[in-house]
Each structure stands twice: as structure tokens, then as C-alpha cells.
């Protein structure tokens, strides 16, 4: 692999925790990448240009770590635009689900598809994410809802990960997303996941984490404790969808088992926030979903930060409740809806995202880290969370390779 140099960087946001608000700013900087990693970070002229290097001119713009979307359901097929229109006319999510819509309509489309069809469906979404600077994305299963169809989803993710152009994918098993129509109860499906699905997922190394949707009508805290205990015993990281629509105790469970992350958290209490902080659970603020489901209360991002939690912002990209993979927009919304400071929102889609995925090799621009970088057409890195919906991407580097943008 050729070395790569980004020159003429107006503002480098290393996100290394130093300097004002921890953004680690370096002005008039250069970054050198070699063999997929970051080899040198410094002021202009601090390092000779390596022979044969790919040179990227930042034209005085800002450079940040590649963005990390740590919570998505991006592997889906089918169209639910009609549901969006129906909800706008006043139908509720529950009414639509009862009429065969909701997760089950996506489930039918996913069950009917082959691995290749799933891969073809997701590939353009990954390109769109990359075009907006995302270099690592977590993607959950959870629309197959049978042993074979959940495995099929995870195999599709593995196939995508093998493609040279792909951004990095962290696959999560979310079989406990909804109760399959063939299953009697959430508890019986939980038992089947533990007995039949988990061993296969681990044997084929198809997922790095296991997640569960704790909610009324979905999975109880007891189901979740049993499932995540079994997953943890088999070496998987654990995550929880908690307190989104009502308080169920999912956040407290995440703290009890020291889960890696907990997402949504609209209905947490002050005690929950303290428990999450004490246990080191990374809290995912999913602002697009909160706004998309127009009736929901704001996710208490400020409360989480003030309690001492590490916060990540993610898109929750999914066809039912957050039909957008615009991570920068999600971060902007986390500022206005959830009280994060702009700098915290930027941390939440870089270092916070890396922590939510347990990946120590990214989220920061420093020697030895993975060379995932985003060059934007703005001098101030905070423009990313301020200029909503604008495409600021000038170049994207994934694993030391120029994935998007021009060589100079
Ligand atoms: Zn989710």
C-alpha cells in the first residue's frame, strides 16, 4: 500500500482530549499514513513527504478522525415510506404494527431475500455513509427473526466486510429485536436464541456483540439478563436498547452486567444515569429516532454527561424510526435536543463511537492509530455538527487508502 499524506490542513482535530474542550487542535498541520496506520501527526514541514506517497491537499480545511456510527439497523430491505405518511396522518406505531406493518413488514422482505440480495441492498447505503465521512459502522441483525434468517443477515454483513471498498463493519446479533410470529413468547424465543443461534454465531465468528430490545411488548429485563449472560459467556460484547418508550429497568441491567453500551435512554432516572456512569457503560444518544418518532421525549444527554457517562451519538438508521444515515445531523440534533455541547457532540461521533464499540485503535488521530480520516470543506471542525444536512466532505481515508476525494 502506498503511503498517504494530507497536507495544507487548516485545523486538525485530533480528538485526543488535550487543549480546549479536548478537541486536540493543531493548526496548519500535516498527517502521514503508512501501511494502513497513522505514522506522523504534526505542524506543516515537521516531516518530509515520503517517496511515492498519495498526496491529498486539504486546501486549508479541517481534518477529523473518520466518523463512527456505533448503532444502526442498516441491513434491511423493503420500503416503509407509506408508514411514514400514515403516521403523519395520525396513525400510531402500534396501529401500523397490528395491521402487519412495522418490524414485521421488514422481516418479510428480509426473509424472502438471498444473502446476495441483502448485500446488494446495503452496499449503496454504506457508500452514502462513507460519502459523509463514516469509516466504521455497527450494523445489527434483527429483521430475520428465525435462526436461519438471522444467520443469513450476519453472513451478508461478513460478505460486505470482505469487499475492498467497504468501510469497517462491526456486526451485532440482535435476534432479540422483536418476537417472531412463529414463537409463543419472548421468553421462548430467548431460549431458542441461546440454545440454537448463539452457538452457531460464535462458531462462525459472525458477530462481535449481542444486543436486546428491552421494552413492553418486546423483551423483559429477565429475558435480557439471561441472553446477555449467555452471550458474554461465549465472548461477545453486550448492548441494550433501554428505556426508549417506557421505563423497564434495561439501563440498570446494562450497569449491573457492565454492558459495553446502552442506547436510547429517554426514560432514565437520575439514579440510572449514575449507575451507568459508575459501571462505565457507554450511553448512545440516538437523536434521529427521537425526532423521527415525533411524540418522544428528549434523550437526556446533558444528564448523562453531568453524571459522568461516556456518550456516543449514533443514527439508529432503520426503516421504521430513523430513516437517515446522516451521522453529523444526528450529532447536531444531540446538541439542540439533548443538551450536548457542540464539542461533546463531535467527540460522541468519534471517540465516543469508538468506545461504544470497544475499538481502541480509532476515533483519535495519533501515531499508531488506524488511518481513518475525514477532510472537510470548512476551517472549523464544529461546522460538521453546525451546518445541518450539508455535504462538507472533501476527502475520506479508510485504512490508509483514499476512498473518496482527489489526489493533488
Ligand atoms: Zn436501535
pLDDT, averaged in runs of 10, over the chain (408 residues):
96 96 97 97 93 96 98 95 92 83 93 98 96 98 98 98 90 97 96 98 98 95 98 98 93 98 95 98 96 85 97 97 96 97 98 98 98 98 97 97 90
Give the CATH H-level superfamily of domain 68-357.
Metal-dependent hydrolases (3.20.20.140)
CA 246 – ligand 1 centroid, Å: 15
How many angstroms is it from 1 CA to the middle of ligand 1? 36
CA 294 to ligand 1 centroid distance, Å: 16
Ligand 1 centroid to residue 404 C-alpha, Å: 28
Q: Distance, CA 74 to ligand 1 centroid (Å)?
A: 10
Compute, in angstroms, the gap from residue 316 CA to the centroid of ligand 1. 5
Ligand 1 centre and the CA of 227: distance in Å?
17
Angle at 327 between CA 323 and CA 329, to 5 degrees: 85
The full DSSP string for 381-393 is TTHHHHSTT---E
Query: 3 C-alpha to center of ligand 1: Å?
Result: 38
**Ligand 1 centroid to 250 CA: how many Å?**
14
Report the pLDDT value the prediction gives residue 144, as an integer from 0 to 100.
Answer: 98
Question: Do 35 and 1 meet the contact criterion of CB atoms below 8 Å apart?
Answer: yes
Q: What span, in angstroms and rounded, lies between the C-alpha atoms of 7 and 29?
A: 7
Between the two ends of the chain, the Cα-to-Cα distance in Å is: 18
63 Cα: distance to centroid of ligand 1 (angstroms): 29
CA of 112 to the centre of ligand 1 (A): 22
What is the whole-number distance in angstroms between the Cα of residue 143 and the centre of ligand 1? Answer: 12
pTM: 0.97
Ligand 1 mean position to 159 CA, how many Å?
22
Residues with Cβ within 8 Å of residue 250, at least 6 apart in sequence: 214, 215, 221, 224, 240, 241, 242, 243, 262
233 CA to middle of ligand 1, Å? 23
Q: How far is the CA of 103 from the centre of ligand 1 (A)?
A: 12
Report CA(212)–ligand 1 centroid distance (Å).
Answer: 9
19 Cα–ligand 1 center, Å: 34
What is the model's pLDDT at position 166?
A: 84
Q: Write down the domain spans for the chain.
A: 4-66+364-404, 68-357
Looking at domain 4-66+364-404, which of 2.30.40.10, 1.10.3720.10, 3.30.930.10, 2.60.120.380 is its CATH number? 2.30.40.10
Q: Check residue 295 and give its pLDDT.
A: 65
Task: Using the mean position of ligand 1's atoms as its centre, give its distance from the Cα of residue 196 in Å.
Answer: 23
Ligand 1 centre from 264 Cα, in Å? Answer: 8
Ligand 1 centroid to Cα of residue 390, in Å, is 25
Do the Cβ atoms of 224 and 244 come closer than 8 Å? Answer: no
CA of residue 241 to ligand 1 center, whole Å: 6
Cα(59)–Cα(54) distance, rounded to whole angstroms? 15
Distance CA 277, CA 249 (A): 15
379 alpha carbon to ligand 1 midpoint, in Å? 33
Q: How many CB atoms lie within 10 A of CB 339?
A: 18
Neighbouring residues of 405: CB distance < 8 A, sequence distance ≥ 6: 56, 375, 393, 394, 395, 396
Q: What is the pLDDT of residues 244-302, one digit of tens each?
A: 989 999 999 999 999 999 999 999 999 999 999 999 999 999 999 999 987 678 999 99
Pairing of strands 373-376, 62-65: antiparallel
Q: How far is the CA of 287 from the centre of ligand 1 (A)?
A: 11
Q: Give 104 Cα–ligand 1 centroid separation in angstroms.
A: 15
Residue 365 Cα, ligand 1 centroid: separation in angstroms?
A: 28
d(CA 219, CA 245): 13
CA distance 19 to 26: 10
- Compute, in angstroms, the gap from residue 30 CA to the centroid of ligand 1: 37
Q: Which pLDDT score, from 0 to 100, does residue 46 have?
A: 93
Going from the Cα of 119 to the center of ligand 1, the distance in angstroms, rounded, reads 20
Residue 39 to residue 30: CA distance in whole angstroms: 11
Alpha carbons within 13 angstroms on the beta-carbon side of residue 209 total 23
Residue 105: burial class (beta carbons within 10 Å; 0-12, 13-18, 19+):
buried
CA-to-CA separations, 84 to 80, 109, 320, in angstroms, rounded: 7, 18, 8
- Residue 282 near residue 355, CB atoms below 8 Å: yes
Can you read off the three cell numbers belonging to residue 348?
460522541
Task: Please list all protein residues whose beta carbon sits less than 5 angstroms from ligand 1, which is an ion.
Answer: 316
Ligand 1 centroid from CA 72, angstroms: 6
Show the cell assigned to 45.
514541514
Q: Do residues 72 and 316 touch, judged by C-beta distance below 8 A?
A: yes
Amino acid at each position: 500500500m502506498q503511503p498517504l499524506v494530507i497536507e495544507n490542513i487548516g485545523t486538525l482535530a485530533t480528538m485526543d482530549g488535550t487543549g480546549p474542550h479536548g478537541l486536540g487542535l493543531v493548526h496548519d498541520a500535516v498527517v502521514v499514513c503508512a501501511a494502513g496506520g497513522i505514522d506522523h501527526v504534526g505542524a506543516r514541514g515537521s516531516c518530509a513527504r515520503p517517496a511515492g506517497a498519495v498526496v491529498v491537499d486539504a486546501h486549508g480545511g479541517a481534518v477529523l478522525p473518520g466518523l463512527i456510527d456505533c448503532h444502526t439497523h442498516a441491513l434491511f430491505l423493503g420500503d416503509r415510506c407509506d408508514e411514514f405518511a400514515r403516521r403523519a396522518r395520525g396513525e400510531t406505531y402500534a396501529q401500523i404494527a397490528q395491521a402487519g406493518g412495522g418490524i414485521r413488514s421488514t422481516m418479510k422482505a428480509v426473509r424472502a431475500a438471498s444473502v446476495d440480495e441483502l448485500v446488494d441492498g446495503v452496499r449503496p447505503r454504506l457508500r452514502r455513509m462513507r460519502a459523509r465521512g463514516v469509516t466504521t459502522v455497527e450494523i445489527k441483525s434483527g429483521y430475520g427473526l428465525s435462526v436461519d434468517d438471522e444467520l443469513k443477515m450476519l453472513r451478508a454483513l461478513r460478505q460486505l466486510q470482505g469487499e475492498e471498498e467497504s468501510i469497517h463493519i462491526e456486526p451485532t446479533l440482535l435476534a432479540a429485536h422483536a418476537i417472531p410470529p412463529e414463537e409463543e413468547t419472548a421468553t421462548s424465543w430467548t431460549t431458542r436464541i441461546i440454545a440454537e443461534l448463539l452457538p452457531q454465531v460464535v462458531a462462525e465468528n459472525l458477530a462481535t456483540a449481542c444486543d436486546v430490545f428491552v421494552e413492553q411488548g418486546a423483551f423483559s429485563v429477565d429475558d435480557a439478563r439471561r441472553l446477555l449472560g449467555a452471550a458474554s459467556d461465549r465472548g461477545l460484547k453486550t448492548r441494550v436498547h433501554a428505556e426508549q418508550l417506557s421505563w423497564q429497568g434495561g439501563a440498570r441491567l446494562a450497569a449491573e452486567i457492565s454492558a459495553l453500551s446502552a442506547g436510547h435512554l429517554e426514560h432514565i432516572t437520575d439514579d440510572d444515569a449514575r449507575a451507568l456512569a459508575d459501571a462505565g457503560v457507554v450511553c448512545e444518544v440516538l437523536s434521529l429516532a427521537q425526532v423521527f418518532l415525533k411524540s418522544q421525549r428528549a434523550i437526556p444527554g446533558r444528564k448523562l454527561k453531568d453524571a459522568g457517562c461516556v456518550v456516543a451519538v449514533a443514527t439508529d438508521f432503520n426503516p421504521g424510526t430513523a430513516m437517515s444515515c446522516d451521522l453529523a445531523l444526528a450529532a447536531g440534533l444531540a446538541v439542540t435536543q439533548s443538551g450536548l455541547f457542540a464539542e461533546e457532540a463531535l467527540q460522541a461521533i468519534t471517540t465516543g463511537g469508538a468506545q461504544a464499540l470497544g475499538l481502541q485503535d480509532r476515533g483519535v488521530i495519533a501515531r499508531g492509530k488506524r488511518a481513518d480520516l475525514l477532510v472537510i470543506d470548512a476551517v472549523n471542525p464544529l461546522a460538521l455538527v453546525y451546518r445541518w444536512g450539508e455535504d462538507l466532505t472533501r476527502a475520506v481515508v479508510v485504512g490508509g487508502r483514499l476512498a473518496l476525494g482527489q489526489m493533488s
